[in-house]
Amino acid sequence: MSAAVAPEPTVAAPPEGKTKRVKKRLTSRTATFFAILIATLWTIPTFGLFISSFRPRQDINNSGWWTMITNPSFTFDNYVTVLSSSGASSASLGVYFVNSIVITLPAVVFPVTLALMAAYAFAWIPFKGSSWLFVLVFALQIVPLQMALIPLLKIFNYPWLDIGGTFPAVWIAHTIFGLPLQIFLLHNFISEIPRDVMEAAKVDGANHAQIFRRVVIPLSVPAIASMVIFQFLWVWNDLLVALVFSGGTAKTAPITQRVAEFAGTRGNQWELLTSAAFIATIVPLIVFFALQRYFVRGLLAGSTKG
């Protein structure tokens, strides 16, 4: 986690000649212009979707969202429509939203906990073949998810297991796919805990389980927070694992799957698509804005994800 964002250094402006100062201000003015241009270009698409989701159906289909300025209109109807169930075949989007929560919470707790334990063992329990095994785990990041899908689905469908299309299948799949990166990053962090701290605990007679609980976990809270957010965003936003393992019915499918389905079957009903997409996006956006620091930290540490 050494790559955390450095605090902004406040550099005092060195005394400069007049011409130089003017020139500098000019370049920084063009820089500011381009920065604002890029920021605007990057924000407009999301903004347009957000605005549209609050426009009446008639207006969405007959005028662009930018006409809101001259011809304002506002409604919650789109949200009501997608959230209420309309007929037997199409369950309310709320059901899928709940499914996403049901999928995400365990699919975050499981891998982070298991990875934390394994990372501790790799970092502080010396054993034969430790570094070899760790390299193997690290190397597993290379294996694309796609490599494991078909056989893993088969395993889930074995008669003695038979969990294909259920929540546990999705949880286990996410847990497995999350482990390599989580173990790797947590190991990087845990292995940097000063040796003295560990030795002191050992001298006090603590065994590994006690050290893990009393020393490692409290010291790793920032790293754990990063990993939790990382895994949370990954699972909540995932489509592929959900498509393959959730079975695709209202019983288990997450909101991403439902929204992707909408895009396919109701591609022209923008009043539904915009509000549905916004509902699917709001949770990760809140998490993102509230915990951006930890997310950035995880990202900087994890920019090796393969």
Partner 1 sequence: MTVLADLSAGMLRTESFWIDQGSKLGFAAIAIVVFLAIVGLVMFLADNAPKRGRDVIQLLLFVAPALLLLAAGMIWPALQTIWQSVTSKAGEFVGLDNFVTIFTDPTMQVVMRNTIVWVIFVPTFSTIVGLAYALFIDRSRGEKILKSLVFMPMAISFVGASIIWGFMYTYRSEGFPQIGLLNQILVWLGLSPYQFVETPPWNTFFLLVVMAWIQTGFAMVVLSAAIKGVPAEIVEAAELDGATAWQRFLNVTLPWIRGSLVVVVTTITISTLKVFDIVRTMTGGQYNTSVVANEMYTRAFRLNQPEIGAALAVLLFVLVLPIVVYNIRVLRAHKEAH
| Smallest separation (angstroms) from partner 1 to the CB of 276 | 8
| Smallest separation (angstroms) from partner 1 to the CB of 297 | 10
| Smallest separation (angstroms) from partner 1 to the CB of 196 | 21
Does residue 43 touch partner 1 according to CB under 8 A? yes
Q: Which letter, b or e, does each residue of 51-76 get, where b requires 16 or more Cβ atoms within 10 Å of its Cβ?
A: bbbbbeeebbeeeebeebeeeeeeee
Question: Applying CB under 8 A, which of residues 21, 73, 74, 80 lies at the interface with partner 1?
Answer: 80
**How is residue 111 written in tokens?**
């891998």
Choice between 28 and 197, CB closer to partner 1: 28
Question: Applying CB under 8 A, which of residues 112, 172, 185, 228 lies at the interface with partner 1?
Answer: 172
Chain positions 257 to 296 lying near partner 1, rule: CB under 8 A, are 259-260, 263-264, 267, 270, 273-274, 276-277, 280-281, 284-285, 287-289, 292, 295-296
Chain positions 210 to 239 lying near partner 1, rule: CB under 8 A, are 210, 212-213, 233, 236-239
Chain positions 99 to 158 lying near partner 1, rule: CB under 8 A, are 99, 101-103, 105-106, 109-110, 113-115, 117-118, 120-122, 125, 127, 133, 137, 140-152, 155
Does residue 31 touch partner 1 according to CB under 8 A? yes
- Of 102, 254, 100, 120, the C-alpha closest to 182 is 120
Does residue 68 touch partner 1 according to CB under 8 A? no
Do 303 and 237 contact (CB within 8 A), yes or no? no
| Smallest separation (angstroms) from partner 1 to the CB of 116 | 9
Choice between 127 and 196, CB closer to partner 1: 127
Alpha helices in the chain (DSSP H): 18-52, 57-62, 77-83, 93-124, 130-139, 145-156, 167-190, 195-203, 208-211, 217-219, 221-237, 240-245, 255-265, 270-290, 292-301
State the Cα–Cα distance between residues 271 and 83, nearest whole angstrom: 13
Q: What is the dihedral of CA 254, 258, 263, 266, to 10 degrees?
A: -170
Binding residues for partner 1, how many (CB under 8 A)? 131
- Of 271, 122, 286, 256, the C-alpha closest to 189 is 122
Question: Applying CB under 8 A, which of residues 58, 66, 157, 249 lies at the interface with partner 1?
Answer: 66
State the Cα–Cα distance between residues 107 and 86, nearest whole angstrom: 30
